[in-house]
Structure 1
Amino acid sequence: MSTATRAATVPAQVSRPTEPPSGRRGGPSERLMSRTAAMLVMGVFTLYFLVPIWWLFVSSTKSSAQLLTTPALWFADFNLLANIEDLVTYRDGVYLKWMLNSVLYAGLGGALATLIAAMCGYALAKYRFPGRETIFNVVLGGVLVPATALALPLFLILSQVQLTDTFWAVFLPSIVSPFGVYLTRIFAASSVPDELLEASRIDGAGEIRTFFTVSIRLMAPALVTVFLFQFVAIWNNFFLPLIMLRSEELFPVTFGLYTWNSQLNQIPELRAYVLVGALLSIIPLIVTFLLLQRFWRSGLGAGSLK
């Protein structure tokens, strides 16, 4: 090729337009529209979730007479502290008993369910034994079964051993979490290295000690997730106490507020107690989430460094 021909081809190569990299082809206006649309959708869903809580807070500050005669989303007389005092003193503080029952059902039940799920999921992930996949498939089947379908069989079983209308009638079914077993099995398989377990065994640690000192720390983000899911599920559980309990002193707070709400025609002043009680009942859920969310952040950070 001559020098003139080579020189003629160079400008053609230099002047060839370069395509923008994939993912950056949209101009500034298109990116602005996408961001605005995303923020608009997020704003709508934020309002959807926060407006009922705002209404509940505003309604809890009103007296029974003001609930139906004042604007629903704005304050009248701020009587929140007085309403709380009336609530906790009503019928010798039965509401506080319900809150304590819910804390015991959800706190102890969630913690024990998390521990059992962690052991089962870890065993299914790290040990090889006959029937392992069959057991895991049965657990997956348990995830698909709705809780309402199990309520009647549970009632019949517990009635045979005379445990209905007792603390155990609600507590024992709460410590089983098929979803927790599924989640911990997946997480243990990916986050607990087999080499680390072998090193622990070479150092003389037994299987139980290895699980509680090594594996459970690596599985902490999954365990927090299982606990929060189980805590919220037990706290909001309504159908199981409905069929199992008859004694008022054993009611969780959700079922206790339901019984008050069903008596509004006979006792209208219970309307304010139901609203204030509902507002107070969501505080433990918020506090639990705020206290445990740092474990999620630490788990994500640890995963990004691996």
Structure 2
Amino acid sequence: MGAIQRTPRRSATRPPAARSILVTAVLIVVALYFLVPVYWVVVAATKSTEDLFTTNGFWFGDVQLLENVRQVFAFDDGIFVRWFLNSVLYAGGGALVATYLAAAGGYALAVYDFKGKDAVFGLVLGGVLVPGTATALPLFLLFSNLGLTDSYLGVLLPSFVSPFGFFLCRIFAAAVVPPSLVESARLDGAGELRIFHTFGLRMMAPALVTVFLFQFVGIWNNYLLPLIMIADEKLYPITVGLVNWRAQTDRLPEFYELTTAGVLVSVVPLVILMVVLQRFWRGGLTEGSVKG
């Protein structure tokens, strides 16, 4: 007797056409929601102040992007360059330290057993639920008493803590760091710090990239904390500096050109960072599939 051949069900292997169309439509709407503002910024950065109000907001006028960017970097003896470097320091330094501390804390909670472990993790979860705006004023009062306001440390120190990064690293470390590997390294005479730096950080690389990127973007776009902490214009990050320019457009319309071109320049580092770091996500996913 010949083998009975069964025809596979199409419904089990292919989604219905209506569902596929609906999902595609939702994804297109979401993509437009995020891309349209970026497109508007690009178009606005190429226009003069007159064209911003006399031409279609979503179409180009007389393109003068290079001139606008040149004015941004030349205005007020290059104050925008100072703001840009300040943002790089705040976001880069803060994200780097926060990522390392989150990795160390998450690794410790995942690998070691100690009294109060669950209480610490619960406290971290509570920190994830607290918005940054709620802690801005208490931080200002605390730092004011310590004499750290109107300084780089006033913005950097709060950036070193990332409850979300701590939570993510704890979950990821528990999934990718095998206890047998840690025990083998201990038997070979490796210390705890060496095990963490040699094996833990490498295995947690995809999570660390995620934490670094989220923290970098969050600090780069942060406005309220620097606004409260800093009074010296030379210590401003890009966000506070651009809002300061925007506030002057009512009496000096040429600040529209500076603001729109400055916004476009401020987005460029985030785009570059996303493009550069995405390969680490792909690498981490591929490594996980091979191990499985």
Q: Deviations over 1:21-41 (max 9, x none)?
A: 484387xxx733332222222
CA displacement at 1:19 relative to structure 2: 8.3
User: TM-score, length-normalised on structure 2?
Assistant: 0.95
CA deviations 1:238-294 (Å, max 9, x no partner) are 110111010000000011101111111121110111100001101111111111111
Q: Is 1:24 paired with 2:9?
A: no
Residue 162 of structure 1 aligns with which residue?
147
Unaligned runs of at least 5 residues, structure 2: none
SS at match of 1:76: coil
- 1:302 equivalent in structure 2: 287
* CA apart distance, 1:304: 1.5
- Cα deviation, residue 204, structure 1: 1.2
Equivalent residue letter for 1:117: A
Who is 1:221 aligned against? Answer: 206
The equivalent residue for 1:195 is: 180
User: Which of 112, 126, 139 in structure 1 is aligned with 2:97?
Assistant: 112
Q: How does 1:27-46 map to 2 (within 5 A)?
A: 31-46=16-31
The equivalent residue for 1:254 is 239
Distance 1:260 1:25 in 2: 56
* Cα deviation 1:112-171 (Å, max 9, x = unaligned): 000000000101111111111111111111111111111111111101110100000000
1:125 and 1:210 map into 2 onto residues whose CA distance is 14
Amino acid at match of 1:24: A
Q: Does 1:291 align with 2:276?
A: yes
State the 1:226 CA deviation: 0.4
Q: Which has the larger radius of gyration?
A: 1
The AA in structure 2 aligned to 1:286 is V
Q: Secondary structure at the match of 1:109?
A: helix
Q: 1:122 aligns with which of 91, 95, 107?
A: 107
SS in 1 for 2:252: coil
Question: Aligned AA for 2:111?
Answer: K
Alignment match, 1:276: 261
Q: Does 1:76 align with 2:64?
A: no
Q: Structure 1 length as normaliser, TM-score?
A: 0.91
* In structure 2, C-alpha distance between the alignment counterparts of 1:225 and 1:120, rounded to whole Å: 16
1:151 to 120, 131, 136: 136
2: distance between equivalents of 1:247 and 1:106?
18
Aligned to 1:5: none
Write the deviation string for residues 40-73 of structure 1: whole angstroms up to 9, x where unpaired: 2222221221111111111111111111001111
Q: 2:252 maps to what in 1?
A: 267
Greater shift in the superposed pair: 38-47 or 133-142: 38-47
Sequence identity percentage: 51
Count how many residue pairs are aligned between Structure 1 and Structure 2: 289
Deviations 1:163-221 (A, max 9, x none): 10000000000010011111000100110001111111111111001100111100000
